[in-house]
């Protein structure tokens, strides 16, 4: 397990040793404070796109549900006649300069989340232009240069990428883990302090009915994720109900919040062995050798990294998302689209 993963798990527990990292968190605070200040007074310039830009991000590290919300938002925009494009950071990939994502792209080149979204829409014969790269503003320009008919850009992550000027900001908060110990990196999971949430356009709470920010009078839009149908990773037209899987099961995942995935499987009454890899782990065939006689269940994001060596016993659980429709109404009204 990497140091990053060890720290990430300690962020959501009572760990007294984490206090030794507070001096580093203070340095981190000074860096982000002066960086934000420099953008605010114009020392650093933000780049504006020719179309509206919607940021879907978070103020913590780890999985909060950004990508499922991005998929939901893309689907809703398509239904009202918009032509959206998506930009992603391509985390843990070789995508330093802007590049387009295709269904035959390799995860190592474009990242798992971007490729997963590409496949999700391709199954419905919908081509969403997706570009990845480290510098969001350059990626947005590259997308528009190749697809000038795109009339809105969605950014998966990017709340802290101030170089890209944005027209609507959405922050996603994990309803179970919330803000962990409340400290900034590296002593805690926070990228920014929670008062940043008072400046965004919409806050989406994933998987909880508790309004943990009621005292700050922040309007919260509720979001829930669910999945009940398994798709075979080798045979695209083969599906199964969760409760129809018999025999020994192993649930393998390399995501930011694996317990959310395991809870879904437990809720379906499954008994399974847990195998956890680091977030964004690039799976290889050797990772599955000892599970050849078991049914392997994984998330859609993990499955995309196994597309070149999937077997009959590989299954993924696509996630569907239900979000308060008022979020879309607010976005439409503000952007006047």
- Name the helix (H) or strand (E) containing 138: helix 136-146
The per-residue pLDDT for range 51-72, each reduced to its tens digit, is: 999 999 999 998 899 999 999 9
For residue 238, give every residue at least 6 positions away whose Cβ sits within 8 Å of its Cβ, in sequence order, or none: 231, 232
Pick the range with the lowest mean pLDDT from 135-139, 188-192, 243-247, 317-321. 243-247
Token pair recorded at residue 81 = 């006649």
pTM above 0.75, yes or no: yes
Cα separations in angstroms, 193 against 40, 66, 119: 17, 19, 35
As a residue count, the chain comes to 337
> Model confidence at 6, in pLDDT bands (50, 70, 90)?
low
Cα separations in angstroms, 289 against 230, 233, 251, 292, 311: 21, 16, 14, 6, 11
Strand locations in 268-317, DSSP E? 273-276, 295-299, 314-317
214, pLDDT greater than 60:
no
Residue ranges per domain, the chain?
A: 3-224+323-335, 228-318
The per-residue pLDDT for range 34-45, each reduced to its tens digit, is: 999 999 999 999
Highest averaged pLDDT of the listed ranges 198-202, 206-210, 213-217, 277-281: 198-202
Highest averaged pLDDT of the listed ranges 155-169, 208-222, 242-256, 266-280: 155-169
Token pair recorded at residue 188 = 């805690």
- Classify domain 3-224+323-335 by CATH number: 3.40.50.300
CA 9 – CA 258 distance, rounded (Å): 11
**Strand, coil or helix: 235:** coil
Q: For all residues of the chain together, what is the average pLDDT?
A: 92
């Amino acid at each position: 397990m990497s140091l990053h993963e060890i720290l990430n798990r300690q962020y959501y527990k009572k760990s007294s040793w984490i206090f030794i990292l507070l001096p580093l968190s203070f340095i981190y605070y000074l860096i982000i404070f002066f960086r934000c200040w420099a953008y605010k007074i114009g020392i650093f310039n933000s780049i504006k796109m020719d179309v509206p830009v919607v940021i879907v991000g978070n103020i913590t590290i780890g999985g909060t549900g950004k990508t499922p919300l991005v998929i939901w938002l893309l689907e809703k925009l398509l239904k009202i006649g918009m032509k959206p494009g998506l930009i992603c950071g391509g985390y843990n990939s070789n995508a330093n300069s802007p590049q387009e994502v295709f269904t035959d792209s390799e995860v190592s080149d474009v990242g798992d989340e971007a490729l997963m979204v590409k496949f999700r829409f391709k199954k419905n014969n919908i081509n969403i232009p997706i570009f990845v790269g480290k510098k969001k503003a350059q990626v947005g320009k590259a997308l528009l240069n190749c697809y000038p008919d795109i009339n809105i850009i969605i950014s998966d992550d990017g709340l802290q990428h101030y170089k890209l000027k944005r027209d609507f900001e959405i922050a996603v908060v994990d309803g179970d883990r919330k803000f962990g110990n409340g400290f900034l990196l590296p002593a805690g999971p926070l990228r920014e302090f929670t008062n940043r949430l008072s400046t965004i356009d919409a806050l989406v709470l994933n998987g909880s009915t508790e309004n943990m920010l009621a005292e700050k009078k922040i309007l919260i839009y509720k979001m829930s994720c669910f999945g009940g149908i398994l798709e075979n990773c080798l045979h695209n037209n083969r599906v199964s109900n969760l409760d129809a899987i018999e025999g020994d099961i192993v649930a393998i995942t390399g995501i930011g919040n694996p317990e959310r995935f395991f809870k879904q499987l437990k809720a379906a009454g499954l008994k399974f062995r847990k195998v956890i890899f680091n977030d964004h782990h690039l799976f290889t065939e050797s990772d599955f050798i000892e599970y050849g006689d078991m049914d392997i269940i994984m998330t859609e994001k993990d499955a995309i990294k196994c597309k070149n060596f999937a077997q009959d016993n590989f299954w993924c659980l696509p996630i569907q998302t239900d979000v308060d429709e008022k979020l879309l109404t607010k976005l439409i009204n503000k952007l006047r689209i």
